[in-house]
Every structure is written in C-alpha cells, then in structure tokens.
Chain A
Amino acid sequence: MSGVRTFISHYWGVLGILLLWQAWVSISGLNAIVLPSPLSVVADLVANPAIYAGNAGKTFLVAVLGLAFGLLAGVLLSLAAWTSRLLNGLLTPLGLIFSSIPVVALIPILARLLGYDMRTEIAIVAVAAFFPTFVFVGAGLKSRPPGSDDLFNVLGATPWQRLLRLVMPAAVPNMMVALRLTAPEAVLAAILAELLMGTSGLGFMFREAAGRFAMERAFGTSIIATITAVIVFGLFMAAERRVDALWK
C-alpha cells in the first residue's frame, strides 16, 4: 500500500500529463493516423532496433566528440586569457555575450560555412559547448584555495609550475560543472544539426519521419532521443561526482 502511495506522490505529475494527453485526444477526436498509440510506437521500436540504435549511436558520437573538442578549445582559450590581463579583458566579455545568446541560431550559419557533413555537426556541438566552458573554466582558474598563491610564492615556484600544479588543478571542478551543464545542450545541438543538414542520426530521423507523417517513427525517435540525452547527462554527472570526490 505504502509503495503505491509513494509512487503516486512522486509521479502524480507525470501520470497527470499522460491523462491530460489522453483526455485531449478523446475530446478533440484526433484520429490514430495523426496521433500514434503508445503500442504502435513501441511496435516500431521493437521492429527496427537497428535503425534506432544506429542513429542514436551516431548522435551520441557527434555529441560526445563535439563536447570533447569544445572543452579542449574552451580550456585552451581560458588558459590564454589567464596568462595575459589584456587577453582576459578582451575575451571575457565576448565569452559572456556568446554564452548568453541562443547558440542554436548559429547552426544554419555554421552549416553553410563548413558544408554539410558530420565534421560540421561535430563543430556545431563544439561551438555550443565552447562558450560556457570558456566562462566556467576561466572562473575556475581564478578560484584557487585560500592561501595557495602565497604558498607557491614562498615555495619559489616558477610560473609554469604554478600553472600545472595549482591553477589548472584548481579549475578541474568547474570544468566538470561546465561539461555537465553543456551536455544536454550538446545533445540538442547534435540533433538540430542533423535535423537541418544530416543524412543520419536522430535529428535526421525526425526530419524524415515528420516529412512523411510517420508519427510512430517520430514519437519513437523522441523516446530514443530522450534516452540518449539522459545517458549523456548521466555520464557527465557521474564523472563530475567522481572527480569531486577526488578533488574537493
């Protein structure tokens, strides 16, 4: 009994949405050609595991590779900004501006600039991940443990030693936060890039399914896209936890 109680207290919202959905369908009398039944969506998933898995895998790859490149670029540029007050003053406001624009709007421009191919999709994800990483890691490079700067002075550390042993390690937790925060955006950017220009991946499946009104396929893709996003997010959340346990 208490199990049911707990379930309802935790999931009444989700259940409510499903009921509302059902009610809407019943009242407005949408027909099954437009609105697929859950069963037919599941049937499509079960009948075509290879299509779904292959495209989801490709989207996952684009998202993770893009995140990796965006991270690398963000870290390198924030390090450059750290070494020079001038660069820091020039770049930090730009980074803040770019990390607060709707970055998906840049996708069509990047697609046109770089051409339609998978490398462009990765570049698009990298750009989406780059700006928040730059801002976060930049802040991390400045948040060193209290007294540690004095300590490195007293120890007679060279600038290089200070960078490697103090400044960069101090920025690692912020870097993990940046990764976790940009992970959902990265999946979204990957899917959108595929939607606009791809020939494979979940975004492509959306475009293809919506184009021929194959709503079972569209809904199935939504489910798989959500699972992919949850996996990517969960992966980076777990990574952040692991790193925090070692780092803080």
Chain B
Amino acid sequence: MTETAIHLDRVGKSFALDNGKQLTALSEIDLRIGKGEFVALLGPSGCGKSTVLRLAAALETPSAGRVTIDGKEPQALSRAHRLGVAFQDHALLPWLDIFANVALPFQVAGRKVDDARVKELIGLVGLAGFEKARPRQLSGGMRQRASIARALALQPDVLLLDEPFGALDAVTRRHMNLELQRIWSAQRITTLLVTHSVDEALFLADRVIVMSGRPGRIIRDISIPFERPRHPSVMRDKRFHELVDELTLALEPEGAAP
C-alpha cells in the first residue's frame, strides 16, 4: 500500500447532550486511507459516518485517539486551503451566482480567482452555461454538482464527500456517480465518500468500509477488485452482485454482530 494520507488512530468521540448525558458516537476507530485512494464509508444512518468525516475535516475534535492527515493535525490542511468538502447540504451561498460560489475558495485563500479553472470545473460537472444562475434557480442535482465543483476548485489534496447525492433521485444519482468517477479518475485525489448506498460505494470506491452503530465501529473493510475506468455494466457483473449481497448482509442489524 502507498503512504497513508488520512489516519484515524483509535479514535473515540462522545457528545454532551442537552440533558447532561454523554452520547458515545464512535469508539476505537482505526482507519488508514492511502494517498490517492478512494474509500467509501457505508453504514446505517446514525452510526457515526458523518462524525468520522467531520473529524477528518477538523470540524470536530476527537475525545480519544488522534486524527492526522499527512502526519499533521487536520486543521493544517484547511488552513493551507488544501481540503475540499461537499456536504449533503449543498451550502451554496444564495447571494452569489454559480460562478462566484465555485470561485469562493480562491477568494478565501486570498488568491486571484482563476477564471479559466472555475469555468473548466463548471463545465466538468456539467453546468456550463449556468455561471450566472443563482443556486435557487437550479435543481437539487445541479446544486450538488456546483458544490462538488467548489470542493475541487483549489485542486485539494483530500476530498471529503458526505452523502453528496443523498437527496437525488436514482437516475440522477447514477448519472452523478459516473461523472464523479470521471472527475476523480482525472485527478486521483484522496477521497472519503460517506454514503448509505451499497451500489454507489461499490461502483466508485477502491475500498469499502462498513460501520455499525451505537457506538460506531468498523465491522468490515473490503477491497473492490473492479478495473478502472468502470463502466455501468460492471453493476451487472456476477462479482458485483456477490459484493452487494455481502455488504447488504453486513448492514443488516444481525449481520452487524462481529
């Protein structure tokens, strides 16, 4: 395996609730993601997937253990403007048009906006011609694509995607998966994708991590053998179906027992 990019070293996370109690969201999470690797994180809702991602993005601090990216604190990455993130909420600013939204990372990083790069990214996610549109004028899928373009703007070292297609219908979603694969293949950015769709995880990732909840733990770590670039026909492959069955079983509550 190549060198480690993201490393969660026996990480635990608990939250203080309003009623004064503690909620243990994660315990003993050990996870290494290699440079240039695409890892999908799968699990039932509430099992702590987003928390893992937020720890890697330095949006939360671990209660136990340590999170590092390239051996450094994860904050170092966002401070250096080397982190790209797309959430389930597209988090586009409603008062900026699509071009300005995608260009925002340049401005926050204090760099001159690279108009050509922004244009190219907007084209890459299939939004060419919508540069002057406002987020509210776009469909949900288009907003998600714009937020992915924004995440890629500064050619980040690490890409974190939290159910970016969660709100989309199945057809659009499949289409987005194809586009994401195309974009990723061109740049090979270290990527952590949170999803609850087994198909999506298998189609996109080099490795699929399955978590179970209460408290969140890793119960499976599976390497995905399919050649890249992957054609949608891979989903009709016998091996693909076996993996779908295996992962689906792992996601069942009884299958979650180690």
A–B contact at 8 Å CB threshold (below): yes
> A residues touching B (Cβ–Cβ < 8 Å)?
145-148, 150-157, 161, 165-166, 169, 172, 246-248
Whether A155 contacts B93 in the complex (CB less than 8 A), given A150-B59, A248-B136, comes out as: no
**Chain B residues within an 8 Å CB radius of A152:** 108
A117 to B93, CA, bound (A): 45
**Chain B residues within an 8 Å CB radius of A166:** 93
CB atoms of B91 and A147 under 8 A apart: yes
CB atoms of A247 and B94 under 8 A apart: yes
CB atoms of A247 and B95 under 8 A apart: yes
**Chain A residues within an 8 Å CB radius of B92:** 145
* B163-215 contacts to A (CB < 8 Å): none
Chain A nearest Cβ from B21, distance in angstroms: 25
Which of B10-18, B41-49, B73-81, B234-242 lies on the face that meets chain A? B73-81
CB atoms of A169 and B89 under 8 A apart: no
Number of residues from B at the complex interface, CB < 8 A: 26
20 intermolecular pairs with C-beta atoms under 8 Å apart? A145-B93, A147-B87, A147-B90, A150-B54, A150-B59, A151-B85, A151-B87, A153-B57, A153-B59, A153-B78, A155-B83, A155-B105, A155-B108, A156-B78, A156-B79, A156-B108, A161-B107, A165-B93, A165-B104, A247-B95
> B residues touching A (Cβ–Cβ < 8 Å)?
54, 57-59, 78-81, 83-85, 87, 89-95, 104-105, 107-109, 136, 160
Q: Which of A148, A155, A172, A248 contacts B78 (CB 8 A)?
A: A155
A248 to B105, CA, bound (A): 21
Q: Which of B80, B91, B95, B109 contacts A151 (CB 8 A)?
A: B91
CB atoms of A156 and B109 under 8 A apart: yes
A248 to B92, CA, bound (A): 11
**Chain A residues within an 8 Å CB radius of B58:** 153-154
Chain A nearest Cβ from B91, distance in angstroms: 3
**Chain A residues within an 8 Å CB radius of B81:** 155-156
Residue among B83, B90, B104, B160 with most chain A CB within 10 A: B104
CB atoms of B94 and A248 under 8 A apart: yes
A156 to B59, CA, bound (A): 11
The 5 A-B pairs at the shortest CB distance, nearest first, are namely A147-B91, A147-B89, A156-B78, A155-B108, A154-B85
A154 to B91, CA, bound (A): 12
A161 to B105, CA, bound (A): 11
**Chain A residues within an 8 Å CB radius of B108:** 152, 155-157, 161, 165
CB atoms of A145 and B107 under 8 A apart: no
Chain A nearest Cβ from B90, distance in angstroms: 7
CB atoms of A246 and B59 under 8 A apart: no
CB atoms of B93 and A169 under 8 A apart: yes
